[in-house]
Each structure stands twice: as C-alpha cells, then as structure tokens.
Chains A and B, each alone.
Chain A
Amino acid sequence: MTAAPSFPPQYLAILILILFGIGFGAVTLYVGRFFRMSRPYHEKLVAYESGNEPTAEPRMRFSVKFYLIAILFVVFDVEAIYLYPWAVTYDRQGLFALVEMFIFIFLLLAGYVYAWKKETFQWEK
C-alpha cells in the first residue's frame, strides 16, 4: 500500500469484499444479458397497479409522521453513539461516569416524554 501509507491493514479485507460484491453484482447482471430473453412492450413496462392503467403521480404526499420519526431517529441515534464510548470505558471510569450518564439519559428522557405527550408515537388517533 504505497498510495495510502496510513491505510490500516485490517481494513484491506473489507475494501476487497466491497469491490468483490460490486463485481459479483455487475458481472452476474452483465453476463445474464446474453442469456435471458428480452421482449419489452408497453404493457410490460408500465408501472404495476393491479392490472389498471396507472393513475396520478406515484410520488404522492405522505403522512407527516414519517418526518417526525426521521427527526426523532437522528436525536436517539446520536444518543446511542454517545453511549458507545461510555459503555466501552465504563470499567475504568467508576461512579462518576454512572452519575454523568444518568444525567444524560434523564435529559433525553425529558425529550422522549415530551414527544410521547405530543403523540408522535401514536400512529392513529
């Protein structure tokens, strides 16, 4: 690895596996072109809607709940990421880390309770 001297050697296998996966997918699909049949016509290529002609735009408006879930996900997933280093070093930190983490989780719980009260998790009223 002369091009990237700081490249950690353990990750080489992962890089090769990614390339291998892309290669497998691309080659299988490319080679298949010469073997599979291909007789496209309009009815076959139109979007599937249980046999009817498609009506209206498929990318319709959808429930705002999905946005709320997405935003809550960002909050809670970042919380989980903060918990990981704390959890790994918990043995070496002692009681201080425990109290710290209780304060951290408590703050998040306040937001969680707020979201619950606002009925974010209530899909149907």
Chain B
Amino acid sequence: MHVLVLLLQILVLFAVVMLHVAYATYFERKIIGHMQVRMGPMRVGWHGLLQPIADGIKSFFKEDIIPEQADRPIFLAAPIICLVAMLTSLAVLPFAPGWVLADINIGLIFILAMSSLSSYGVILAGWASNSKYTFLGGLRSMAQVISYEIAMGLSLVGVMMLSGTLNLSKIVEAQGTSFGGMYIFPQIIAFFVFCVAMLAETNRVPFDLPEAETELVSGYATEYSGMRYAMFFMAEYIGMIVMSAIGTICFLGGWNGPFTVPGVPFFWFVLKIYLFLFVFIWIRATLPRYRYDQLMELGWKLLIPLALANIALTGIVKAIIG
C-alpha cells in the first residue's frame, strides 16, 4: 500500500517536472527571441504554445541512429544514466513543509552525489560514440564538472555551518520565516560562488564548452539522435531545475515567503525556481562563451579560494558572535 502511494506521488512529480522541462524549452526560446527582438516560436498553437509538444512527438518518431563504430551497450546506456541520475535528485527536494518524497538526513550530499553521477553519462556518451567531437566534448565536460564541483561543494559548507544539518527541509526551517533570515545575506560570497558553479555544472552559457556548437558540433551528444538525444536534453533541464531548487533551499529560504498563500504551500518555492530559471536564460541571451583556459582559471584560481575564505570567515564570525 505504502509502495503504491509512493508510486502515485512519483508519477505526479514526474509528470509535473516533465511538463516544466517541456515548457522551460519553450520559454527559453521565447525569452531569448524577445531579447533579440524576434518573436520566437509562433506557428504551432497560439503563440507557439504547442511547440514543445510537437518537438517531443518529433523526437519520438525520429530514426535512432547507432553509429557502427560505437560501443553499443555503453552508447545505449549513457542517456539513461544521465536521466536517472537527475531524476533521482528530485526525490529529496522539499517543495513545501512535508512535501518531500524521501526526507533523508543527508539530502545535500545526495544531490551532490547524483550530480556527479550524471557526469558519468556524459563522459561515457563521449567515449562510447567513438567520434572525435564527442570524445573532446566528453573530456572537456569531465574536467569542467569536477573542477566546479569542488567550488560548489565548498560554497555549501557555509550553509551547513549556519544550519547545522544536511537535511534540506531543516535547512529551510533553520532560515526562519523572516526576509532577513535567508542565507543569501550572511552567505553572499557563497551564493556568488554557488551561482557560477551552478552554471558550469549544468553546462550552461557562458560555460557550455562541452557542447560548444561552433567548435565541437554538439559535443558529447553529436552522434545521438531522436529520443536518445532528447533524453540528454531532458537531463540537462531537470539538472537546471534541481540546481535552482538547491539555490532556493540553501540561500533563498525555500518555501518561505513574505506572506503565506492559502491552499498553495509550494507557491514561493516554485516562484523562486522560476526566478532562477529566468536568470539562467537571461545569462544565455547576454553573455558570450568562455575560452577553455579562462574557464579552468576562473574555477581553480578564483572560486575555490573564495569558497575557502568564506568558510574561514563564517567560522570566525560565528565564533565571535556565538
């Protein structure tokens, strides 16, 4: 019985997240379109509203090309690894008080572990395709993701010190309901480091070097087509949603807001996630891509020392104030 209830909850969560993924692509195209004084998708449905559905149907019916030189089993498994790792991170996110599938006490570590696992999918895809572009894309992605993962892990240490827990619901509760209680104010340095690392971890502009289309065609996903390609896409967008959720939970006070909206306990949480997603898209429309050596230098020479300094600062300030 318990399992059935869980399965039902998972189904609902999955449907909602997939809808968000589909319409995140729509809003991305629409927002970037308007920022570049274009209309974006307009043809399919009213103002192009059915475009993501049409895209989904199209990729479902597209031919599934498996290159003859590819390592078949790994090639077939790689997109599913990406998707499952990202999907699993959703289980520990608290959307509202008590609205969490798995209320585990190591939630933050679990998210970091899953985001590392999804990079396996990318590396394996690049390797198994046995093509030069995918190989370079996979290699770049590996080095980029592991470099920025350190910065991200260290930036969250400050949040752990303030809240004294790794449970995501308790981190939100520790911030209190007041506006000033959000960890973005005492942890502003960590928030900056987290935001930059978040963009790099999800392979978004300005750090989208693994799939830099002007030099690597489509990076690790070059040899993928149809539904398998769509799965990488889904994993990337679920990754954006998960990272936005972590930013919301750790720095922006999670489901707490200036006033409670009756009947919709997850109102503020979802609103803050949309804010993050909008900034993701806004940055994509504004910034050019980093060069690879600049990317590595930014990660290792700026973000890691900054995150370490933030830990030391937080420790000292907490020791003085008590």
Contact = CB atoms under 8 A, between A and B. Distances in A.
Q: Say whether A and B bind each other.
A: yes
Interface of A: 8, 10-14, 16-18, 20-22, 24-26, 28-29, 32-33, 35-40, 42, 44-50, 54, 58-60, 62, 65-66, 69-70, 72-73, 76-77, 80, 83-84, 87-91, 94-95, 98, 101-102, 105, 109, 112, 116, 120-124
Given A10-B102, A40-B65, A80 B157 contact: yes
The A contact surface, by secondary structure, is helix
A66 B227 contact: no
Contacts of B130: 47, 58-59
Interface residues of B, number: 79
A59 B166 contact: no
Given A21-B88, A59-B135, A88-B160, 18 more contacts: A14-B102, A16-B3, A21-B83, A25-B80, A25-B84, A36-B61, A47-B69, A47-B130, A54-B132, A59-B127, A60-B132, A62-B139, A69-B296, A77-B146, A80-B154, A84-B160, A102-B315, A121-B301
Interface stretch (B6-14, B244-252, B257-265): B6-14
B1 interface: no
Contacts of A21: 80, 83-84, 87-88
Contacts of B208: none
Nearest to A20: B10
Nearest to A26: B80
Contact of A17 (B69, B101, B147, B223): B101
B80 A38 contact: no
A119 to B, nearest CB: 11
Nearest to A115: B300
The B contact surface, by secondary structure, is helix
Given A17-B90, A17-B91, A73-B146, A36 B293 contact: no
A65 to B, nearest CB: 8
Contacts of A95: 319
B88 A24 contact: no
A116 B305 CA distance: 12
B3 A12 contact: yes
A36 B164 contact: no
Contacts of A70: 142-143, 146
B270 to A, nearest CB: 20
* Residue of A25, A58, A121 most packed against chain B (CB within 10 A): A25
Across the A-B interface, the 5 shortest Cβ-Cβ residue pairs: A123-B293, A21-B84, A25-B80, A87-B160, A47-B131
